Amino acid sequence: MAFSGGSDSLALLHLLCGIRQSWPLELTAAHFDHGLGAGSADRAACAAEVCRSAGVPCEMGATRGLAGGQAGYRTARYTFLTAVRCRFGADRIALAHQRDDHIETVLLNLLRGTGFRGLAGIPARRGAFVRPLLGFGREELRGYLREAGQEWLDDPSNRDFRYRRSRVRYGLIPALSGCGDEGLPSLAADLARHALEAEGGLDLRARRLLSAADFRETADGAQIARPPVLKYDRAARARLLRKVARDMGFRVTRRGTAAGVTFMDSGASGHGVDIAAGLRIEREFDRLHVRRRRNRDPDTEVEIEETEPGREPARIGGKQYEVRWGALEGTERWATALPAATIRFPLRVRGPRPGDRIRTRAGSRKVAKLLNERRVPASDRSSVPIVVTADRRVLWVVGHSALAVEPPDPEGAWFAIGLTER
């Protein structure tokens, strides 16, 4: 569980310790010191002592001078909590968010502009993170602690009006507490509940639309068939795009969503647009791909100086190959033989480049056009090995076409070359 030492997390610790006798529960606390203020290290030490007194081990983490404001601190904190969970093999990470946090989140999302998902507030569960206290208010939990004789720590940064949540908690909510017969907290909670119901219905519809569009998960993301998607209205396309991105761990902004939806309609095959940092939608013939963008290691080409047998590894377009020449083993995935008298060494095994051409029996062809006609997806074309001579003449597009030649001497020597993907 995440433990700050404040009233909410102390109540969660106390409650979880109370059920350990009747429920098989192995509990570990995790405290993250954000380094805010001169007393943060002292508060961290006090939090660790509270856990020790309760008989609960406490893992400590800290950061200093982190950039990115509240979002940066949240990312660092959740990264730490996830690391602790993995280290201990825990099933869940319990967080101490309660009903007032939930209402504040609804209002914060409303102020910055949001849809149903944002209006639904804080989810009770998201992945390994669970929030068992959302049904209780802050004062209810503090009353429980007073009755139990428990004292909590106060974090001065919670009242720092530089942070929007503090302004909402101590300024906006008290100022609007008299609005309506039921009061702002009750109205905001009702809004969140209705938004959650609406979001659930729309999410179910998005899953059905994805299924009808032949949705498939892939190694680098997901793909769907484009023709069915073109029949959906713009709002439906936006929702399914955001759902795919969210399931991959990305948040797409309005601008990114608009760019992605427009590309679904008019994007050309072999092209794509970025829809979020590290996320891109591309079209390959009649399929749309949503892909993570990864930094790829540079290619390592193979240079063959002579006909003597040999083998070397190659990395082309992010894929690993083993290249053999001169004498093959018969286990190669792709192999060909060329008249040795027509070859100008050194040969080079590399990826395609602009301007590469190969002479086939149908005439001279651009390698890029050949791969397009063979319906090789644009994202895969850079990983198709080709074999070229010293004068850049393409001898072989591996797996697709070899140079159309006739040996000057039918009894002449042939040069064999083969590749296997590793």
- Model pLDDT, residue 408: 47
Mean predicted lDDT score pLDDT of the chain: 89
ω into 408 cis (within 30 of 0):
no
- Model pLDDT, residue 73: 83
- Model pLDDT, residue 176: 77
- Model pLDDT, residue 410: 58
| Comparison of pLDDT for 410 and 192, the residue scoring more | 192
Q: Tens of pLDDT along 129-173?
A: 999 999 999 999 999 999 999 999 988 878 888 888 889 998 888
Q: Residue 406: is its pLDDT beyond 60?
A: no
Segment among 7-21, 224-238, 322-336 with least mean pLDDT: 322-336
Q: Residue 347: is its pLDDT beyond 70?
A: yes
- Model pLDDT, residue 310: 92
- Model pLDDT, residue 316: 94
Q: Residue 181: is its pLDDT beyond 60?
A: no
- Model pLDDT, residue 403: 61
- Model pLDDT, residue 157: 77
- Model pLDDT, residue 162: 82
Rounded to the nearest 5°, which phi and psi values hold at 402? -110, 160
Stretch 178-186: mean pLDDT: 65
Q: Residue 265: is its pLDDT beyond 50?
A: yes
3-state secondary structure the chain: CECCCCHHHHHHHHHHHHHCCCCCCCCCEEEEECCCCCCHHHHHHHHHHHHHHCCCCEEEEECCCCCCHHHHHHHHHHHHHHHHHHHHCCCCEECCCCHHHHHHHHHHHHHHCCCHHHHCCCCCEECCEECCCCCCCHHHHHHHHHHCCCCCCCCHHHHCCCCHHHHHHHHHHHHCCCCCCCCHHHHHHHHHHHHHHHHHHHHHHHHHHHHHCCCEEECCEEEEEHHHHHCCCHHHHHHHHHHHHHHCCCCCCHHHHHHHHHHHHHCCCCCEEEEECCEEEEEECCEEEEEECCCCCCCECEEECCCCCEEEEEEECCEEEEEEECCCCCCCCEEEEEEHHHCCCCEEEECCCCCCEEEECCEEEEHHHHHHHCCCCHHHHCCCCEEECCCCCEEEECCCEECCCCCCCCCCCEEEEEEEEC
Residue 162 burial by Cβ neighbours in a 10 Å radius (0-12, 13-18, 19+): exposed
Looking at residue 386, its amino acid is I
Q: Tens of pLDDT along 381-403?
A: 999 999 999 988 999 999 887 66
Q: Residue 111: is its pLDDT beyond 60?
A: yes
pTM (predicted TM-score): 0.63
Q: Residue 407: is its pLDDT beyond 60?
A: no
Q: Residue 373: is its pLDDT beyond 60?
A: yes
- pLDDT interval class at 182 (50, 70, 90): low
Q: Residue 256: is its pLDDT beyond 50?
A: yes
Segment among 150-159, 244-253, 263-272 with least mean pLDDT: 150-159
- Model pLDDT, residue 339: 81
Share of the chain above pLDDT 90, in %: 61
Q: Tens of pLDDT along 294-328?
A: 776 789 999 998 878 999 999 999 899 999 998 88
- Model pLDDT, residue 235: 93
Stretch 181-201: mean pLDDT: 84
Q: Tens of pLDDT along 79-110?
A: 999 999 999 999 999 999 999 999 999 999 98
Q: Residue 378: is its pLDDT beyond 90?
A: no
Q: Residue 404: is its pLDDT beyond 80?
A: no
Q: Residue 68: is its pLDDT beyond 60?
A: no
- Model pLDDT, residue 3: 97
- Model pLDDT, residue 117: 86
